[in-house]
Amino acid sequence: MRGLISAKSKVGGACVAVAALALWGTITSAQIVPASGQGRAQSQTQAVTYLFPEQVTVPAGKPSAVALHFRIAPGLHINSHTPSDEYLIPTVFSIPADSSAHLDAAKYPAGTEITLAVDPKTKLSVYTGDFVIEARLVAAPGNHLVQGKLHYQACDRNECMPPKTITVPIDVIAR
Amino acid sequence: MRRNTLVLCVTLFILAGFAWAGWANWEYRQQAAERLLAASGRGELVPDPSGGAATYVTPLKGKPAPSFALEDLSGKKVSLASYRGKALLINFWATWCAPCKIETPWIIELRNKYASQGFEVLGIDTEGDDLKPGDTAGWAKNKAEVSKFVQQMKVPYPVLINGDSISTPYGGLDELPTSFFVDRQGKVVAAQLGLTSERDIEGNIKKALTQ
């Protein structure tokens, strides 16, 4: 009887081991790709990249200016913070309201004026190349991983890409 | 007894894992199918070896224009099928697209010139807002903005909204403006990506009318 129970335990254990191995194999072969936006495929070009800083140290509780550096892909431009037309989408930096640090104010660079060859009368206020936004951050004492957002809309001379928001991750150490 | 409970728990955990893996694989296959569908319609800009303007080559050329039914600014549903027998310019645009604003007066002029020959334009607004179907306030704001733009530009042809919902069969619409020229039988005869010229647009309209 004891022998029979022992044999059954070994078989049960072996079954569990085989099932666990099969599960591990299934899970490692299962792949999830993040879903893209509603009906729209992601553009191949990342028009704007956040460069630096990754980490800043600021006095706790006081608004402190932090220079955020961005780079626009060659051949592209994005509207400045004050575009020339009411329908054009301005470049805006923000920090989510539920973040542990908040944005007191943001100072944007002046845009460069450009025109398109087929319509020289219409002037566009844009950023190209590298640009810097001065963000005044306020944080309570401690270490805060802030997920800022930059919202922009990029074009080249002939076509435009849909508006996009990128994450601007900043590790804010407030002392 | 404790051992049986342990075995039961482990078994249930393993079964739950299988269920999750099955769902994950299904999701992956769905997304792969969607990417394939978008890629099958996605065109590309082919540079001109002589240094001229690049040409937009679409896999939709020679094929029936993908069907759709979208709302116009009055809320009425408008279907592509209802324009069978007319040559069409399906023009995807957005209010924030400066090149779209430049080409709109050209399109209006050409539409008025060729309307008597059975030519029409369908302007499809594609804001890229990712608005959810139930976002009533969002859609109302979208319609108001588009209506204001259309009135300012004095657009005489039908303007439909929610172009994002049909972007996949039309190649993804990664850039605007994007235009498809459709003949009277509903077949795509030409396509344009980006701002070209009024002459180029007119050339493609003539192709749609004569095919």
Instruction: Please give the single-letter amino acid code of residue B100.
Output: C
Confidence of residue A37 (pLDDT cuts 50, 70, 90): very low
Residue B184: the pLDDT is 96
CB contact under 8 A, A118 and B164: no
Residue A15 C-alpha, separation from nearest chain B C-alpha, in angstroms: 10
**pTM greater than 0.80 (yes/no):** no
Q: Judge whether residue B53 has pLDDT over 70.
A: no
Q: What is the pLDDT of residue A42?
A: 41
Between CA B167 and CA B174 the distance in angstroms is 9
The reply to whether ipTM tops 0.90 is: no
- Which of the residues of B are catalytic? 97, 100
The pLDDT of residue B27 = 77
- The class (CATH top level) of B44-210 is alpha beta
The full set of domain ranges for chain A reads 1-28, 48-174
Q: Is there a contact between B187 and B202 (Cβ–Cβ < 8 Å)?
A: no
The mean pLDDT value for A65-94 works out to 96
Q: N- to C-terminal Cα distance for chain B?
A: 80
pLDDT of residue A124 exceeding 50 = yes
Subunit contact A41:B42, Cβ cutoff 8 A:
yes
More confident residue, B162 or A16: B162
Please give the CATH topology (third level) of the domain spanning A48-174: Immunoglobulin-like (2.60.40)
The reply to whether omega before B177 is within 30° of 0 (cis) is yes
Which are the contacts of B144, defined by CB distance < 8 A and separation ≥ 6? none
pLDDT, tens digit, for every residue of B101-155?
Answer: 999 999 999 999 999 999 999 999 999 877 777 888 888 888 999 999 999 999 9
Tokens of A9: 């335990």
CB atoms within 10 A of CB B208: 23
Region A45-72: what's the mean pLDDT?
95
Q: Is B153 on the interface with A (CB under 8 A)?
A: no
pLDDT reading at B89 higher than 90:
yes
Q: What is the pLDDT of residue B137?
A: 86
Taking CB atoms and an 8 Å limit, are B197 and A118 in contact across chains?
Answer: yes
At A76, list the tokens.
Answer: 């592209």
What rounded mean pLDDT belongs to chain A? 85
Site from B11, B14, B44, B192 to mutate, A interface, most A CB atoms within 10 angstroms: B14
Per-residue pLDDT reduced to its tens digit, B147-188 = 999 999 999 999 999 999 999 999 989 999 999 999 999 999
Number of H helices, E strands in chain A: 1, 12
**Mean per-residue pLDDT, B12-40:** 75
A134-154 average pLDDT score: 96
